[in-house]
Structure 1
Amino acid sequence: MLKLNIQDETSRLRSVVLGTAKSCGPIPKLEEAYDPKSMEHILAGTYPKEEDMVKEMDAFAKVFAKYDVQVFRPRVLKDCNQIFTRDIAFVIEDKLVKANILPDREKEFEAIKYVLNKIDEDQIIHPPQQVHIEGGDVMPWGEYIFMGTYTGTDYADYITARTNKEAVRFIAQTFPHKKVKAFELRKSNTNAKENALHLDCCFQPIGKNMAILHKNGFLKEEEYYWLLDFFGKDQVFEINKEEMYQMMSNVFSISPKVVVSERKFTRLNNWLREREFIVEEIPYAEISKQEGLLRCSTLPLVRD
C-alpha cells in the first residue's frame, strides 16, 4: 500500500505519477482545444508531434530514475492526451483529491486505477459536482494551501477557468487546520500571454523559502504583493510575460535542492545555480505548446 504524504511543493520526492505522451491522438480540431496556446499552435501548424513529446517525457523519467523516485505511468488509452496528470488529481497530506475536470477527461482518472488501488479507499476524496478543481491550482505549503481561482460572474464563459469559489470553500472545509489562501487569476480564452490557466502558470514555491512569480497572472495586484511579501523580494525570481508564456514558473522540485527545468530557461537556471540549486535541464519545449510543463505532467504521491 502507498502511504500518501504531501506537505509542500519541494520536500524530497519518493513517489510520483508521471503522465504519458503515447497514443495522444491526432492534432485536435480548433474547437476541441482547451486553451489558447494549443489553439495558436494548431493554427500555425506547429502543434507538437507525439514522438517528440514521448522523448521529452522519457528524459523526465530518466531524471526521476537518477534520484531513485518510484514512478507510475498511466495505462495508455488509445488517442487520448494523458500528459498532464496534475489535472486529474492531487495529494494534500495523506489524502488524494480527485479533480472535477472537463467531463471528457474522466477516463484519464480511470487510467491510473492500478495506482489508486494501492491507496486506502477512505484516503481518496471525491468532491461534489458543483466543486470545479484541478491540481495546477492547488499548492500545499506548510500551514498554507495556496489556490488559484476565478470567481467572476462570467466564470462559465471561460474554458480556461478551472477552479471555482466552491472549490476554495470545499478545500477549506476538508482541511480545516490549514490556512487556505486563494488568488484570482487572469483568464483569457484567446490570448495565451494574458491567460494564467492555473496558479502554477504564474507562481511556484521552490527550495525552502523561495518562489517564481509573474505579476500579470494575478487579477488583484494586492494578491501578487501578498506573495512577494510572504517570500521576500530578494527570494523571488520574477518572470515577464514572454517567460510566463514559455511556462517558466512550471518547473518541478525533486527536493529543496534539486529542480527539474527546461533547458532553454537560461535566465532562471543560472539564477537557481547561483543559489546552489542542482538544476536538471531537460528538453520540454514541445510539451509547453499545450500550455503545460513539468509540474503539470506530475502527480506527486509521497514526499519525505
Structure 2
Amino acid sequence: MTEVFVQSEFAPLRVVVLARSEVSIPANARDSADTRFLAEDSFVLNPVGQDMRDGAPERQAAWERERDAFREVLERHGVRVLRPRLLTGQEKTEAGDDGYANFFARDPFFTVGDQVVESSMRFRHRRREVLPMREIMLTEVYPAECGYVAVPAPEIPEPDDPALGPGPFLEGGDVLVLDRHVFVGSSGLASNALGARWLAKYLAPYGYTVELVRLHERILHLDCALGLVRDGLLVACEEALLDGVPEVLRDWERIGTDFDSATRLATNGLPLSPDVYVTDPEFSFLGDQIRRRGVKVEYVDFAITRSLGGSFRCSTQPLLRTS
C-alpha cells in the first residue's frame, strides 16, 4: 500500500505523479489578460485553438521526449513515477471553446502532510484537469491512510467579471509546504485569498499554519517566484514577492534571480532530496550557485514545457516526500 505524506518541498522524493503532455490552448488566449504570465513567443511556438498533437506534431513529440528525459532522472534517483491517464475524446469534446489541458500535475491536486486535496482551478480550460488524476486517487490514495478532500467548486461568475468570480480558487503551484507551515501564493491569476482561507480552516485541526503570499500580477504561481532547495537555502525573485520573502524564511540563505528569469521559470526547479536538485540548463547560473553549496544539480532541457508556462515542479505532484 502506498504511503501518502509530504513533509516539505525538499524531503526525499519517493513517489510522484508526472504529468502527461496534452493541451489545446483556448482560441481567445492571445487576447486575454490572463495570459500575461506567458513569454511573448508562447503563441508563436505553440498552436492555438487545436490540440498540440494535431497542430504541431513534431513539437508534441519533442515535448514528450522532455518528459521522458525527466522521468529517467527521477527513476535513476529511486523515485517511483506514476502517470495520469490521457484525456478521453468525450472530455475533449465537452471542453468546447474553453480548450483543455492535461500537462501540469502540480495544480489540479496537492498534498500537505497526509492530506490530499483536489484543487479549484481558475482558468476554464484547466477545470477538468483533475479528471485524469482520479485513477491515481483510486489506486494510490483511497487505500492509503490519509485524508482526501476537494476544495469547494468555484461560484459561477458574471460574463464581464475579469476575476472569474469569488472562487474559492486554490491551485497546487501556489502551495509550498515547510513542515507545519504552508505558504499559498496569490497574484490574481490562480489561487485567491478565499482559497487560502478555506485551506487554513481545513488544516487548522491538523496543526498547520497557512500564510498568504502576495505575488506580482505577472506571476502565475508561488513556485514561479520562490523555491525551497533544502533547509536554510532558497531561490527567489524578490521583485515578484510583493511583501518580500516570508518572515519565517528571512534568515535562510538566498540565491536571487531577476524578474525576467523568474517569468521563464528559473525558480521552478525540483529538489529530489536536500542533496539533489533538478533544473533547466537555461538556468545554469542558478545551478552553479546551488552546486557550490553542496547540492548535486541535474539538468534536463525543458524548453517546450516552459513555453507553456510551467517547468519541473509544475510537472510533478508528490504523494510521498519524507525523511
TM-score by length of 2: 0.80
AA paired with 2:148?
Answer: I
Shift of 1:54: 0.8
DSSP-derived class of the 2:46 partner: coil
Residue equivalent to 1:182? 212
2:302 is aligned with 1:297: no
Q: How far, CA to CA, are the matches of 1:113 and 1:182 in structure 2?
A: 28
In 1, the alpha carbon distance for the partners of 2:128 and 2:271 equals 28
Structure 1: gaps of 5 or more residues = 156-160, 188-194
- Between 1:74-83 and 1:108-117, the stretch displaced more is 74-83
Q: Does 1:82 align with 2:102?
A: yes
In the alignment, is residue 46 of structure 1 matched against residue 45 of structure 2?
Answer: yes
CA-CA distance at 1:225 after TM superposition: 6.4
Q: Say which of 151, 161, 176 aligns to 1:127.
A: 151
Partner of 2:160: none
CA distance in 2, matches of 1:131, 1:213: 27
1:58 is aligned with what amino acid?
A: D
How far apart, CA to CA, are the structure 1 residues paired with 2:235 and 2:303?
A: 19
SS at match of 1:81: strand
Once the two structures are TM-superposed, the CA of residue 127 in structure 1 deviates from its matched residue by: 1.5
Contact 1:37 1:290 in 2 (8 A): no
What's the counterpart of residue 276 of structure 1? 294
Range with bigger deviation, 28-37 or 64-73: 28-37
> Cα distance, 1:131 vs. partner?
2.1
**Counterpart-to-counterpart distance in 2, 1:230 and 1:168:** 25
CA displacement, residues 243-297 of structure 1 (integer Å, 9 cap, x when unaligned): 1122110000110111011012121111111111111100001211122111001
Is the counterpart of residue 203 in structure 1 residue 240 in structure 2? no
1:228/1:114 CA distance change after superposition, 3 Å: closer
Partner residue in 1 for 2:79 = 69
- 3-state SS of 1:111 partner: helix
C-alpha distance 281-238 of structure 1, shift in aligned 2 (>3 A): same
Q: Deviations over 1:107-144 (max 9, x none)?
A: 32111222101213872111223421000111110231
Structure 2 CA distance for partners of 1:225 and 1:138, relative to 1, 3 Å: closer
Q: Give the 3-state SS of the residue equivalent to 2:23 in structure 1.
A: coil
Q: 1:218 and 2:246 equivalent? A: no
Q: After the TM superposition, which parts of structure 1 deviate over 4 Å for at least 4 consecutive aligned residues?
A: none
In the TM superposition, residue 9 of structure 1 has moved relative to its aligned partner by: 0.2
Contact 2:29–2:35, Cα closer than 8 Å, also in 1: no
Cα pair distance change 1:229/1:41, threshold 3 Å:
same
Equivalent of 2:177 in 98, 123, 140: 140
State the SS of the aligned residue for 1:68: coil
- Equivalenced residue count is 280
Gaps of at least 5 residues in structure 2 are 48-58, 93-99, 154-166
Give me the whole-angstrom Cα distance separating, in 2, the residues matched to 1:81 and 1:165: 25
| Shift, 1:39, TM fit | 7.0
C-alpha offsets along residues 163-198 of structure 1, whole Å, 9 cap, x if unaligned?
A: 1111121111112112222111111xxxxxxx1111
Letter in 2 for 1:123: G
Closer/same/farther in 2, CA of residues 295 and 166 from structure 1, 3 Å limit: same
**The residue matched to 1:197 in structure 2 has which SS?**
coil
The amino acid that maps onto 2:295 is F
**Which position in structure 1 is the counterpart of 2:54?**
none
Tell me how far apart the structure 2 counterparts of residues 39 and 140 of structure 1 sit (CA, whole Å): 28
CA 265–142 in structure 1, closer or farther in 2 if over 3 Å, else same = same
Contact 1:38 1:47 in 2 (8 A): no
Cα RMSD of the aligned pairs, angstroms, is 2.1
Can you list the C-alpha shifts for 1:34-72, whole angstroms capped at 9, x where unaligned?
A: 5235473254x2228212211111111001110121111
The answer to whether the 8 A contact 1:85-1:299 is kept is yes
Query: Does residue 12 of structure 1 match 2:12?
Result: yes
The CA distance in 1 between the partners of 2:301 and 2:257, in whole Å, is: 20
Seen in structure 2, the aligned counterparts of structure 1 residues 225 and 164 have a Cα distance that, compared at 3 Å, is: closer
SS at match of 2:168: coil
Aligned partners of 1:266, 1:260: CA distance in 2, in Å? 11
